[in-house]
Amino acid sequence: MGQSDTAVTSIISSSAGCIIKDKGGVSERGDIMNQHTRFNLPICLAVEEDAFFHSDEIIKRYIPDIIGQKAVIVSEEFLIGIYKEKINDISSDFGGAEIIAMKNASFDEAVAIAKKVCIEDIKVIIGIGGGRVLDTAKYAAHISKAVYICMPTSLSNDSLASPFSVLETSGKTRKTISCKIPTAIIVDTNMIINAPEGQTLSGIGDTIAKHTALFDWKLSAARSSERIDDFAYALSRMSYDSVYHCDEKNMKSRVFIRILSRALVMGGLAMEIAGSSRPCSGSEHLFAHAIEEFYTDIKISHGIAVALGSIPACIFQGQDPAGLINFFNTHGLDISPVSYGITKDMFADIWDKARTVRPGRITILDDTAADRTMLDEIYDRMVEKK
């Protein structure tokens, strides 16, 4: 293919679930294409009531090629106990697929599953569980090049459809590693409605954090050669808007669960299109990463930690956090650091460390000279939730 022909090449292959857009060189119209973009999109995003009970019909509808292929199910011991009937049903739909009980969401465990998949000629990995299970299954599918079907039992963060897996590497140290996104995402709204409320709140927190993440992305683009991908930006903004402005406030309603499911998936796809986590991760995520790395005793989920981080980040950015605080109060997402055992000293130290956890990532923290008095005032405001 000649240089002029390669200006824009789009290949859409429904069987592979792959959309590739290559941009490079100068087109016949003279447009200068200086970006190289390559991304995948899932073939299927089914958000349905009792979807787990008719997952075989959904898969037949979207990816009939994989029916009859050898598959393996990755889940967790306690989930296999709770959802025995559903998981056994899905296993029999795939000719008695082996069910693996994942233990610690580690890099080694993901690689071991990938090794088994390659050696035993398994073509499909089905992940059934929360973030840890799905990250492990996603990475195993990435290495083994298997088709990956993602079936969440809770909506705790946007890693559902993101091109990253967070895995333990050595000890408790967790690393974010690039990987491919799922081929199919099947969300059973009944399953999510019955998930622990804290998990859904965490998913809400991860979605609302896009507000400050997008501000930081723009700031970074203004200061560096980084370019904002408009579609990734729009997807992430829409993800945030759909939840923030949602009229339905009942987290146990099907309407809300459908909106949150799609919002989290859109966040993941925004990262896939941008080729980085920037559309969904800014200074509020640096706060959460600092907790994950330096305060491992603090028991707080990722989405709640970024929700907490989004209030100070908003203030550092010169934005009024009142809207976010109201939103979190309305949904019962507790933003008081005290509730998670975070003292004023720890709060100040976490923000100090947040500046160091992702060197080279430009955020509002580069401009913020928040002194102890300011941080103490923000802390008090968060404790009072106003």
Report the interface residues with Zn ion, using CB under 5 A: 206
Nearer to Zn ion, 72 or 280 (CB): 280
* Minimum distance, C-beta of residue 131 to Zn ion, in the bound complex (Å): 10
20 DSSP β-pair partners: 11
* Minimum distance, C-beta of residue 162 to Zn ion, in the bound complex (Å): 8
* Minimum distance, C-beta of residue 199 to Zn ion, in the bound complex (Å): 14
Per-residue burial over 1-23, b if 16 or more Cβ lie within 10 Å, else e, is eeeeeebeeeeeeeeebbbeebb
Residue 174 burial (CB count, 10 A): 21
Residue pair 268/144 in contact (Cβ under 8 Å)? The answer is no
* Minimum distance, C-beta of residue 95 to Zn ion, in the bound complex (Å): 36
How far are the Cα atoms of 22, 56, 89, 228, 361 from residue 214, in angstroms, in the given order? 25, 38, 41, 10, 13
Nearer to Zn ion, 136 or 207 (CB): 207
Nearer to Zn ion, 147 or 150 (CB): 150
d(Cα 351, Cα 365) in Å, to the nearest integer? Answer: 9
Question: Could you identify the residue written with the tokens 């966040």?
Answer: 267
* Minimum distance, C-beta of residue 372 to Zn ion, in the bound complex (Å): 28
* Minimum distance, C-beta of residue 362 to Zn ion, in the bound complex (Å): 18
* Residue 182 φ/ψ, nearest 5 degrees: -65, 155
Task: For residue 308, give every residue at least 6 positions away whose Cβ sits within 8 Å of its Cβ, in sequence order, or none.
Answer: 205, 287, 288, 300, 335, 337, 340, 342, 382
Nearest-10 Cα torsion for 223, 224, 230, 232: -110
* Minimum distance, C-beta of residue 244 to Zn ion, in the bound complex (Å): 16
d(Cα 151, Cα 66) in Å, to the nearest integer? Answer: 16
d(Cα 93, Cα 174) in Å, to the nearest integer? Answer: 34
Nearer to Zn ion, 206 or 216 (CB): 206
Nearer to Zn ion, 206 or 272 (CB): 206
* Minimum distance, C-beta of residue 292 to Zn ion, in the bound complex (Å): 11
Nearer to Zn ion, 20 or 238 (CB): 238
Nearer to Zn ion, 91 or 276 (CB): 276
Residue pair 56/93 in contact (Cβ under 8 Å)? The answer is yes
How far are the Cα atoms of 28, 32, 38, 148 from residue 24, in angstroms, in the given order? 12, 8, 11, 30
Nearer to Zn ion, 109 or 206 (CB): 206
Provide the residue type at 56 as one letter: D
Q: Which residue is nearest to Zn ion (CB)?
A: 206
